[in-house]
Amino acid sequence: MPNQIKRIGMLTGGGDCPGLNAVIRAITRAALSGGMEVVGIEDGYLGLIQNRMRGLSWTDVSNLLTQGGTILGASNRANPSAYLVPENGTWVAKDVRDEVMRHVQKQRLDALVVIGGDGTMAGAAQMMERGCCIVGVPKTIDNDLWGTDITFGHDTAVHIATEALDRVHTTASSHHRVMVVELMGRYSGWIALNAGCAAGADIILIPEIPFSFDKVAERCLERSKFGSRFTIVAVGEGAKPAGGQQLVERIDPSSPDPIRLGGVGKFVATEIEARTGLESRAIVLGHVQRGGTPTARDRLLATAFGFHAFELLEQRRFGRLVVEREGKISSLDIKDVAGKVRTVPTDDLMVRAVRATGSSFGD
């Protein structure tokens, strides 16, 4: 490896996320200004595996701050250390890291910037074992990446979820219904917690606090009895009843992360109606939370993360993940982060605030 970084590759792994293009813009422009060449890797690790890459210029990243998604494309179906390929009617995992390193060398890439969540960072740690020089940038609407207080994309998702919860208030009150809104988040409840709190949801169900259907039903009946003839429930897709299991919508054997959570909103609404007699409806907000224009907060955070990633490249501080902790941008060892999930502490300040202001976690 040369002493000076001359040519870098950049990929966006996992699902799409508001703010990805702002990171791409910040890294590309900072790197070009610093005398580096920038190569965009298409569709995350899949582009590395299939050697699909293209150069990025200043104009390629113009007008990107307001655009959602990623101009490079993304994939959550490619892990270089366990790349799933169909063989004899089943999926077989193959280690293609050596092939990927040949592509990196062929493209003359001195280092990679890997933008993604926990699965992407686990893949980065595995590529580092083959000598790949990597700097990571955390991305996920779920805010579940260990080691950083916030990830870009989360603020936009919370904003969208909050607006959705705000909007169901009117139809819930008009028809005197219980409205259950299922939100994303996988195994962490940050979106449901923050959006539920911001919208004043009456009940917030998150994976970290198993709920009791008796308690949920009791709260709905209390509101009906004392004059509030509707109830708003925000439920994270990974929430589960005490002693029960998370609901799995389907299993995708072609994906490195095959479990697809879903269905808890309908489950909760059905149980509430059966136990209380109150008319209940379920809404699944779904991928709406991941789309559209990023908020100003996410654009600023993405730009700061992208620029610090460039600084780490300049300093040849590889194997680092850009993070924000206690309001300051810094970095951590990717290996310390890979494979870990940041969940909501049950004594989190916001959890305590929600309880104190009258909302219930169903426990």
Strands 328-333 and 320-325: antiparallel
Q: How far is CA 337 from CA 75, 147, 332, in A?
A: 20, 6, 8
Angle (nearest 5°) at CA 22 between 147 and 82: 55
All residues at 6 or more sequence positions from 250 whose CB lies less than 8 Å from its CB, including other chains: 260, 262
Residue-by-residue DSSP string for 88-155:
TTEEEEE--HHHHHHHHHHTT-SEEEEEE-HHHHHHHHHHHTTT--EEEEEB-TT--BTT-S--BTHH
Contact 131, 100 (CB under 8 A): no
What are the residue ranges of helices labelled H in 234-361? 264-276, 296-314, 334-337, 349-356
**Residues with catalytic roles:** 142
d(CA 84, CA 312): 32
Closest CA to 231 of 207, 196, 186: 196
Instruction: Using the structure block, give the residue that is written with the tokens 């509707």.
Output: 230
Strands 83-87 and 90-94: antiparallel
Strand partners, 138: 116
d(CA 10, CA 20): 11
d(CA 144, CA 122): 14
d(CA 272, CA 53): 51
Instruction: Using the structure block, give the residue that is written with the tokens 């590395």.
Output: 48
